[in-house]
Structure 1
Amino acid sequence: MKVRADILRTYQGVHTWTGIIAGLVLFIGFYAGSLTMFKYELADWATPVSAPVTEPKTSDYQALVDKAIVQYPQQMSNGFSIDLLTDQAPLSWYSQGKERGMALDNQLQLLHLNSKNELVIEQKSESKLADLIDYLHRTAGFAGEIGHDQSGVYILGIASVLYFLALVSGVIILLPTLVKTFFAIRKEKGPSRFWLDSHNLVGIASLPFHLIIAFTVVVFAFHDLIYDGLSPFYDDKSFFQRPPPAAHSYQIENLPSIEKQLLAAKNYAPGYEPIHIALSRLNTNSPTAIVKMSNESAVVRGPDTDYLFLQPYTLEVLNSSYPQGEESHWGNMVASIFSLHFGTYGGEWGRWGYFVMGLFGAFLFYSGNLLWLDKRAKKDANKRSTLFMANLTIGVCLGSIIAVVATLLVGKWVNQFTANANYSYLYSYYIVFFVFVAYAFKKGSQHTSYWGLVSLAGLCLCMAGSTLLQAISTEHYFKYYQSITVDFSAVVFALIFYFSAKKVKAKSAHNTSAPK
């Protein structure tokens, strides 16, 4: 296919500058986004192993709830949750803070029945490690809020608009040679050509995934503006109708059994298994019960489950994230957008697929910046803007990865000695990140690139080594190796980073004209 040379030049400029402007922010979003596919496994990996206090799915939840209502009526009427899969205390409520947000001092009250059928209660800090990974994915680490959302969400939304332009312009640039060079990886023509071929192959092969992510991120970032803009066309009616409150207040003493609520959820969604139920405002006229419903063989609309909203006294279904039919087209549309972005379909294969595609997305932005820097360096290796961008690219990209791995390691050990490691997560990430960026500007991109990759290899090996050391020093040896997938993946990435470091060192030895 022939495209006029002036059109190609125009789109090449669009592709280059949209990629450069948005690339570093999107690198963090994609890298952290790939980790969110296993954020709970990573959080469990960093959590100290403890002996089970109950058996999941066999506990007498109603006896536990009844005893808790008698001893703690006020707290239970405000709201409580039951985790149906845990082997720790299944019933909990927040004594400080709430579920949503990044508050680091949230406190949970955890309750279970001991072997004598006595109620046992303990206080525990809520771990925010999984939330930190998700926070980096959604905001790229930008602090502050605009309205009721983080500023980083809007920054990533703007970056995703540029990202979409980069995708479209990149396809147009490749059209004349797409068929001929699509699968060509020409190592013999030098590292620049190899990087370019790899960049093009990853970009085109994963184009549908990238278009989905670009579109859904824009919707997530600007959904309030979208709803407000559409509202006048629908007579200012709410797109998502809330059920009216009851004429009277309910009392927790009349609450139907937990078994009845779970049965109502199962009857509404055959084939789905309730794994968590959260009840709130139980002594008001608008009580709710939110049930997380799991089905590994189905498309779910939440990050990892579907959601069912019940009226806990009448057991009426108020809303759900399941397909609602033609009368709820807005809800169905939003649910589909969530499902496409979260990758909650295809079971474990889907999760691993989104994990790999997320890493490929990060590679796309990283390689794009390197190609631009290589081209600029050939013209003037010592130009100040080129040196600045080279240092910034290496500092931000490698620094964000090093900071996350270091934070995981910090959590693994700090959790052994303190009840609340949340502050150490946040401080370690930002301290390591900014120190590495400063190091990149001090030592230059080539030096920092090599030692950054070597450091990553060492930190990843330390992850597996930490699990081994802790397993040896405890009687729960085999329970530590429930996290074998995390440790095995860390070793694989250690090898990848090590061989990448060797390649960088070899290139540096033969390419003295690269930015320093």
Structure 2
Amino acid sequence: MKVRSDIVRMYKDVHGWVGIVSGLALFVAFYAGAITMFEQSLQRWASPPTTLAAPVSLERTPDLVRAVLAAHPEAAKGYTVHLETGREQPARVSWQQAEPGGDEHGARRTFHAALAPDGTLQVEEDGPSPVAQFVDVLHQQVGIMLEHEAAMPIMGAVALLYAIALVSGVIVLLPSLVKDLFAMRMGRNVKRMWLDVHNLLGVFSLPFHIIMALTAVVFAFHDQFYDAQGATFSHAEERPAAKAPSPPPPPLAEPLPPAAVMQTLAREVPGFTPIALAYGRGRDGAPSLRAMGRDDRYGLRGPTFTPVILDPGTGAVVGSDYLGGVQDGWGAAITGFFALHFGSFGGIGVRWAYFLLGLAGAFLFYTGNLLWVESRRKRERKAGAVEQTRSTRILGALTVGVPLGCIAGVALTIAAAKPLGAGATEVMHSLIYHAVFLAFVAWALLRGSARGALELLPAAALALLAIPAATLVFVMRHPPAVLGVDLLALAGSVVLLASWQATRRRTRSGPADSVWSSRAAMPSRA
């Protein structure tokens, strides 16, 4: 396809600058996002065996609920009956409570309940490991260490830059698309090889990246979109007359037992598999009941489930806005939006595909930054600069430190779940991750991109090996539940060690004034 050379140059500059600005944050988002494809498996691997008695049967669950409400009346505001239990969800009944002195929207404590063999109530606050939830938050906030409300608009800005990079990258590639698409030139020109890999990954995963960019923008500015929608349509509607205060809600009668709810759901929504029932009160104080579950025929509204609103007295479906197959067009479109981002459709095959595409996306951003830094150094040499500028050295160091720091930080905070045990908190995992991440970035800035890569690549490989090592060391009190986590960590460490060997050859045989050369210590200048 013919595109004027000046247009290609302009979009190449745009692609380069927006890529270098957003690429490092996107690496964190895609690497952590790939891991969240198996969030439940990771939580099962990381969670220690519970000390609670085995979950009671669904038929005995009302007895457990009555015991919980008698001992903890605050649980009546909302409690969950878990239909599927395991290490990642060790009890039949759980509920949340605000931290002492906090409000309802602040940090919350989760309690789990069981009945001992003699019928006495057992309550445990420590539960499933929070490491999987931390990795998910890391993915959502692209690694930004701020409160969620403050981090999300920044993530949205990164997603917008990401979309611009996609469009500009396609325009840059159009003139040579047919000729260069399958070209993998593996000769001595290492930069040319990385460019071929970058283009190949970018073109074949383009639909996936378009989906991620658009959905990320919507998630980031979700509240702003709804506020604007509400403000727009509220002016078009006549304000209703003031209503008299609603009478207080009736006392909460004993709701329909879970076993009966299961029977009603099987009759009314065939194909829907409930995994949990959330009992409580709505905003108006009236009794409420939600079923969370999945239907393999349709995409899910959340990463692992779709909610259905039920009548707490009869179990009949009264709200199916999120239920596949019975939604209206708008509801189906919104659910499709969520399912495309989460990969919550098509079963395990789609999750593996999203996992691999997520890792490929992280690698795409790494190669993009690598090419940009090397191209910048090439332009400096053409301009007569013998020494590397400080900005080039810093960008090169960040291209090494941020990805490897992310990989090592995530690996070590996952490995720490075993020794931390049931007392682990999300804050603990955050501190471990960010300490390792910042240490890697600082080391890369101190040592430079070439020497930093040679020293940090094996360190990141060792961090990944800490995951299977933790399984072996703590096998007596924390028997392994999911060996796939250990196997993937081993595979990742092998890939990093192979990259280390290739980097050693590059730093020794590449051009002496390259940012990736360790043969000469180039002084910097502003």
Q: TM-score under structure 2 normalisation?
A: 0.87
Q: Distance in 2 between matches of 1:410 and 1:493?
A: 18
Q: CA deviation at 1:382?
A: 0.9
| Counterpart contact for 1:125–1:420, Cα < 8 Å | no
Give the C-alpha shift of residue 386 in structure 1: 0.6
User: Equivalent residue of 1:299, what SS?
Assistant: coil
Cα distance in structure 1, aligned partners of 2:104 and 2:139:
16
Query: Given residue 350 of structure 1, which amino acid in structure 2 is its aligned partner?
Result: V
- Structure 1 contact 456–497 (Cα < 8 Å) conserved: yes
Question: Which of 99, 117, 120 matches 2:119?
Answer: 117
Structure 1: tracts of 5 or more residues without a match? 239-244
Q: C-alpha separation between the residues in 2 aligned to 1:468 and 1:233? A: 59
Question: Measured at CA, do residues 395 and 236 of structure 1 come closer, stay the same or move farther in structure 2, by a change above 3 Å?
Answer: farther
1:412 aligns with 2:424: no
Q: Give the 3-state SS of the residue equivalent to 1:92 in structure 2.
A: strand
Question: 1:428 — aligned with what?
Answer: 432
Going from structure 1 to structure 2, the CA distance change for 1:289 and 1:505 (only over 3 Å counts) comes to same
Is 1:467 aligned to 2:468, yes or no?
no
Question: Which has the larger displacement, 399-408 or 286-295?
Answer: 286-295
Give the aligned residue type for 1:133.
V
* CA 59–186 in structure 1, closer or farther in 2 if over 3 Å, else same: farther
Aligned positions, number: 497
Aligned-pair CA distance for 1:319: 4.5
Matched, 1:340 2:332: no
What secondary structure does 1:188 align onto? coil
- The verdict on how the C-alpha distance between 1:159 and 1:423 changes in structure 2, with shifts beyond 3 A counting, is closer
Could you tell me how far 1:410 is from its partner in structure 2?
A: 1.9
Q: 1:426 to 1:59 in 2, by over 3 A?
A: farther
How many Å separate the matches in 1 of 2:18 and 2:173? 17
Moved more, 356-365 or 151-160: 151-160
Q: Per-residue displacement from partner, 1:258-287 (whole Å, max 9, x unpaired)?
A: 223333333342111111112222896433
The residue that corresponds to 1:322 in the other structure is 323
* 1:427 to partner: Cα distance: 1.1
Closer/same/farther in 2, CA of residues 361 and 376 from structure 1, 3 Å limit: same
Residue 454 of structure 1 aligns with which residue? 458
Query: Would you say 1:40 and 2:40 are equivalent positions?
Result: yes
Distance 2:344 2:2 in 1: 40
Residue by residue over 1:419-472, the C-alpha shift from the partner in whole angstroms, topping out at 9 and shown as x without a partner, is: 23433212111111112111111111111112221112112222112212222x
Could you tell me how far apart the structure 2 residues matched to 1:282 and 1:234 are?
25
Distance 2:75 2:104 in 1: 19
Flag the 1:228–1:462 CA change in 2: closer, same or farther, 3 A: closer
Q: Indicate the residue corresponding to 1:167 in structure 2.
A: 166
Question: SS state of the match for residue 308, structure 2?
Answer: strand
1:109-508 maps to which residues of 2 (within 5 A)? 109-124=111-126, 127-145=129-147, 149-231=148-230, 233-236=232-235, 249-281=249-281, 285-316=285-316, 317-323=318-324, 328-378=328-378, 379-380=380-381, 382-415=388-421, 419-471=423-475, 473-474=476-477, 480-508=479-507
Distance in 2 (CA, whole Å) between partners of 1:363 and 1:44 is 27
Q: Partner residue of 1:18? A: 18
- C-alpha change, 1:207 and 1:284, in structure 2 (3 Å) is closer
Amino acid in the other structure paired with 2:399? T
In structure 2, the CA distance between the partners of 1:119 and 1:125, relative to structure 1 (3 Å rule), is closer
Q: Residue type of the partner of 1:346?
A: G
Question: For the residues of structure 2 that align with 1:392 and 1:123, how far apart are their CA atoms?
Answer: 41
Does the 8 Å CA contact 2:98/2:106 hold for their aligned counterparts?
Answer: no
Matched ranges for 1:66-77 at <5 A = 66-69=66-69, 71-72=70-71, 74-77=73-76
Percent identity between matched residues is 34
Residues 230, 283 of structure 1: CA spacing in aligned structure 2 closer, same or farther, 3 A cutoff? closer
Cα displacement string for residues 72-122 of structure 1 (whole angstroms, at most 9, x for unaligned residues): 36233222111111143211222444999894xx43332112223333223
- Matching residue's letter, 1:412: K
The 3-state SS of whatever aligns with 2:474 is helix
Q: 1:394 to 1:116 in 2, by over 3 A?
A: same
- Amino acid of the residue matched to residue 136 of structure 1? L
Between the aligned partners of 2:365 and 2:194, the Cα distance in structure 1 is 12
Task: Tell me which amino acid in the other structure corresponds to 1:85.
Answer: E
Cα distance change on mapping 1:248 and 1:99 into 2, 3 Å: closer
Query: Any stretches of 5+ residues in structure 2 without a counterpart?
Result: 238-244, 382-386, 516-520, 522-526
- State the AA in 2 paired with 1:485: G
Q: Which residue of 2 aligns with 1:241?
A: none
8 Å Cα contact 2:27-2:361 kept in structure 1: yes
Whole-angstrom CA distance in 1 between matches of 2:181 and 2:78: 56
Q: Name the SS of the counterpart of 2:514 in structure 1.
A: coil
Q: Quick check: 1:250–1:283 contact (8 Å CA) kept in 2?
A: no
> What are the superposed Cα offsets for residues 313-348 of structure 1, whole Å, 9 maximum, x if unpaired?
35352344124767x544333222111110101111
Please give the alpha-carbon distance, in whole angstroms, between the structure 2 residues aligned to 1:228 and 1:114. Answer: 49
Contact kept? 1:251, 1:283, Cα under 8 Å: no
Give the C-alpha shift of residue 301 in structure 1. 1.8
Normalised by the length of structure 1, the TM-score is: 0.89
Distance 2:54 2:340 in 1: 36
Letter in 2 for 1:414: L
Matched to 2:271, the amino acid is G
Opposite residue 117 of structure 1, the aligned amino acid is: G
Instruction: Indicate how the Cα distance of structure 1 residues 56 and 302 shifts in structure 2: closer, same or farther if over 3 A, else same.
Output: farther
Over aligned residues, Cα RMSD in angstroms? 2.8
> Contact 1:246 / 1:285 at 8 angstroms: preserved in 2?
no
- The worse-fitting range, judged by mean Cα deviation, of 315-324 and 445-454 is 315-324
Amino acid across the alignment from 1:456: A
CA displacement at 1:66 relative to structure 2: 3.1
CA contact (8 A) 2:400 2:452 kept: yes
Query: Does the residue aligned with 2:319 lie in a helix, a strand or coil?
Result: strand
Task: Return the alpha-carbon distance in structure 1 between the equivalents of residues 247 and 128 of structure 2.
Answer: 36
| Change beyond 3 A, Cα 1:370–1:19 | same
Deviation at residue 128 of structure 1 after TM alignment: 2.6
- Kept after mapping to 2: 8 A contact 1:56/1:85: no
Give me the whole-angstrom Cα distance separating, in 2, the residues matched to 1:414 and 1:426: 13
How far apart are the structure 1 equivalents of 2:28 and 2:104? 22
| Alignment check: 8 A CA contact 1:80 1:92 kept | yes
CA contact (8 A) 1:139 1:150 kept: no
Work out whether residues 216 and 341 of structure 1, in 8 Å CA contact, stay in contact via their aligned partners in 2: yes
The residue that corresponds to 1:242 in the other structure is none
Query: In the alignment, is the contact (CA less than 8 A) between 2:409 and 2:436 conserved in 1?
Result: yes
CA displacement at 1:58 relative to structure 2: 5.9
Q: Is the 8 A contact 1:304 1:344 kept in 2?
A: yes
Summarize the Cα distance change of 1:495–1:420 in structure 2 as closer, same or farther, 3 Å threshold. closer
Cα distance in 2, alignment partners of residues 101 and 294 from structure 1: 28
The amino acid that maps onto 2:417 is: G
Partner secondary structure for residue 293 of structure 1: strand
Amino acid at match of 2:9: R
